[in-house]
């Protein structure tokens, strides 16, 4: 029988994030990581793929080296953020409708970053056995349906030229739905990697067949659970995508990078909003001196401090409301906010240059506005349909 408590995503204490980054950096230096990435590339699971013609190695081998280098540099220079469960739920609530402004690089809280969310920002259901079918780890008729939560993201301004090889020019291809092809050299935007927790096969029957080990033996859910502590960092690469600067946001496609990017971008907007409409407050937790020394040895150039992003006290929901919502959550999908925000926050397109508005030369920017309840303070919340009362029978 499955143990629900072992299936839930349990967020770390924010002070653990620098150590998590250190483990990710070590993981990206491991040859086994590149082997796994080569298999994923062969299975078509990457959407951003580099190629170096005439280098004398397989496309997958070259791509795995370049992709791990890119992710490593992104994490080395990343500022660290932790979004509390309330902040995560707020971003999900506000992201129910897409951002109205186009992708704007100034929305990034830092040029590169790593953010871990206190609750999943989404997830997807997949048959792990079928996913491995076309890789060296596949096994005929293997089936293990699991729900994978998305709990973290790294990002950087797109600059693939930093990892060009001396032996040839790197060409970058996008293989996403509807926009496949060569990425132009002058392309501008944001590169995002989404992460899921490692070791969440727990709860499946231990004898469930997942695939095949390197030595040809059967791989089961029980074997994965038994080795999860030694299998690498707490987070694992899941998906990646590009956001083109100036591009509009379309309707979100559920359970895809498209939907998760809406939530991430909305979190950036909430963090940036200031003044009377301020949504977030940030506390900074410094890294211990010994840990900071380790970071420098690993080549970390970003701050070793962790920025904890909370909902501002003027908007923060009552603790009981947050507990009620958390109780209703599966811990593997995005939480609901029926108790925390009965009236969902909404977006308002704000003109940033009213004098040029009439001529169409102005710039508009999203402002996320608090959902509000009209009426006297303390009055019961009315959420149903409007009811019209008549004090006399209306005429025919």
236 has pLDDT over 70: yes
Beta-bridge partner residues of 369: 346
Identify the residue with better confidence: 178 or 148: 148
384, part of any domain: no
- The percent of residues in the chain predicted with pLDDT above 70, rounded, is 83
Q: Is residue 385 domain-resident?
A: no
Record the pTM.
0.84
- What pLDDT band is residue 180 in, cutting at 50, 70 and 90? confident
Two tokens, residue 15: 């002070």
- pLDDT score recorded for residue 26: 94
Examine residue 365 and state whether it is found in any structural domain, yes or no: no
Q: Does residue 135 fall inside a structural domain? A: yes
In a domain, 382, yes or no: no
Does 160 or 143 have the greater pLDDT score? 143
Query: Do the domain assignments include residue 350?
Result: no
Q: Per-residue pLDDT averaged across 104-128, rounded?
A: 93
In a domain, 392, yes or no: no
Number of domains in the chain: 1
User: What's the pLDDT tens digit per position in 284-335?
Assistant: 999 988 888 889 999 999 899 999 999 998 888 888 988 898 888 888 888 8
Task: Provide the domain limits for residue 255.
Answer: 4-343
- Beta-strand ranges (E) seen in 292-345 are 306-311
Contact assessment for residue 38 and residue 106, using Cβ atoms and an 8 Å cutoff: no
Residue 393 located in a structural domain: no
Q: pLDDT for 14-32, tens place per residue? A: 999 999 999 999 999 999 8
């Amino acid at each position: 029988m499955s143990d629900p408590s072992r299936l839930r995503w349990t967020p770390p204490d924010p002070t653990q994030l620098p150590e998590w980054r250190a483990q990710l950096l070590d993981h990206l230096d491991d040859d086994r990581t590149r082997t796994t990435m080569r298999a994923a590339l062969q299975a078509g699971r990457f959407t951003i793929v580099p190629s170096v013609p005439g280098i004398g190695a397989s496309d997958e081998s070259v791509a795995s080296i370049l992709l791990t280098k890119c992710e490593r540099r992104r994490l080395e220079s990343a500022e660290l953020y932790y979004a509390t469960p309330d902040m995560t739920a707020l971003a999900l609530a506000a992201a129910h409708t897409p951002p109205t402004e186009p992708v704007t690089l100034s929305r990034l809280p830092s040029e590169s970053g790593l953010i871990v969310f206190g609750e999943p920002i989404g997830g997807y259901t997949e048959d792990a056995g079928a996913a491995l079918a076309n890789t060296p780890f596949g096994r005929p008729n293997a089936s293990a349906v699991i729900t994978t939560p998305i709990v973290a993201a790294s990002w950087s301004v797109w600059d693939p030229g930093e990892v060009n090889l001396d032996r040839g020019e790197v060409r970058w291809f996008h293989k996403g739905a509807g926009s496949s092809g060569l990425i132009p050299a002058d392309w501008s935007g944001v590169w995002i990697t989404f992460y899921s927790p490692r070791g969440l096969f727990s709860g499946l029957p231990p004898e469930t067949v997942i695939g095949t080990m390197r030595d040809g033996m059967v791989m089961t859910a029980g074997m994965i659970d038994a080795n999860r502590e030694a299998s690498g960092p707490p987070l694992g690469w899941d998906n990646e995508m590009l956001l083109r600067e100036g591009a509009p946001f379309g309707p979100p496609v559920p359970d895809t990078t498209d939907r998760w990017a809406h939530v991430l971008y909305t979190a950036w907007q909430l963090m940036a909003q200031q003044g009377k409409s301020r949504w977030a407050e940030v506390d900074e937790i410094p890294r211990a001196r010994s840990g900071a020394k380790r970071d420098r040895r690993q080549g970390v150039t970003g701050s070793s401090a962790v920025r904890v992003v909370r909902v501002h006290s003027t908007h923060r929901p009552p603790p009981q409301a947050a507990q009620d919502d958390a109780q209703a959550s599966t811990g593997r999908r995005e939480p609901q906010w029926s108790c925390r925000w009965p009236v969902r926050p909404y977006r308002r397109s704000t003109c940033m240059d009213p004098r040029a508005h009439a001529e169409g030369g102005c710039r508009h920017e999203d402002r996320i506005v608090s959902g509000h309840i009209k009426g006297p303070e303390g009055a019961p919340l009315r959420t149903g349909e409007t009811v019209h009362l008549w004090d006399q029978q209306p005429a025919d």
